[in-house]
Amino acid sequence: MAEYSHHGWVYFNDSFYYISAWGNSWQDSREDCLQRGADLVIINSKEEQEFMRQFKKHVWIGLTDRETEGVWEWVDGTPLTTSYWDANEPNSHEGIDEDCGEIKLHYDDENNWNDVSCTVQNIWICEKKFTLTQ
Ligand code: MAN
Ligand code: CA
């Protein structure tokens, strides 16, 4: 897999990815991405999930069920189809409202997503699609 890095952004399969240097809530993380002309990462292929695992970081992804409990949506409004939840996730653990998606520290496991409270401080990954405009 080809990777090209420029000013902190890493290129992979028609997108640029940026990993933050510190932690923040899901919403503040998302706002940082928007200010960079990007958004929190949307994982929509097996290759992209593999690529995420290579960061070996515990990060926010652009997935939430804030609008309707149990209905997971990406930040671009698309519904979640293919998912990589860890075993027994999403679980809204012990009744705590866990409305935001993160990648856990299970790099060996392809299924490593967890739902967690959106106020937790995590580092995050922004994704910017590379598109040629006319
Ligand atoms: C913690 C939290 C939960 C998660 C459980 C899994 O309590 O990260 O979101 O579901 O661990 O054991
Ligand atoms: Ca959980």
What is the average per-residue pLDDT within 102-113? 90
Does 14 reside within a domain?
no
Residue 14 Cα to ligand 1 middle (Å): 33
Does 2 reside within a domain?
no
More confident residue, 129 or 8: 129
Q: Is the CB of 100 under 6 A from ligand 1?
A: no
Does 7 reside within a domain?
no
Does 25 reside within a domain?
yes
Please give the tally of structural domains in the chain.
1
Nearest CA to ligand 1 atom 12: 93
CATH number of 112's domain:
3.10.100.10
Query: Which three-class secondary structure state does DSSP give residue 3?
Result: coil
- Give me the sign of the Cα torsion angle 39, 41, 43, 45: positive
Does 1 reside within a domain?
no
What is the average per-residue pLDDT within 72-91? 96
pLDDT at 1: 46
Q: Is the CB of 93 under 6 A from ligand 1?
A: yes
Question: Is 28's pLDDT higher than 70?
Answer: yes
Nearest CA to ligand 1 atom 6: 93
Question: Is 9's pLDDT higher than 60?
Answer: yes
Does 70 reside within a domain?
yes
- Tens digit of each residue's pLDDT (9 = 90 or more) over 36-64: 999 999 999 999 999 999 999 999 999 99
Question: Is 2's pLDDT higher than 70?
Answer: no
Does 8 reside within a domain?
no
Identify the burial level of 1 via C-beta atoms within 10 angstroms of its C-beta, where 0-12 means exposed, 13-18 middle and 19 or more buried. exposed
Does 12 reside within a domain?
no
Mean of the per-residue pLDDT values for the chain? 92
Whether the CB-CB separation of 107 and 56 falls below 8 Å is answered with yes
Nearest CA to ligand 1 atom 8: 116
Q: Is the CB of 117 under 6 A from ligand 1?
A: no
Domain range enclosing 115: 20-129
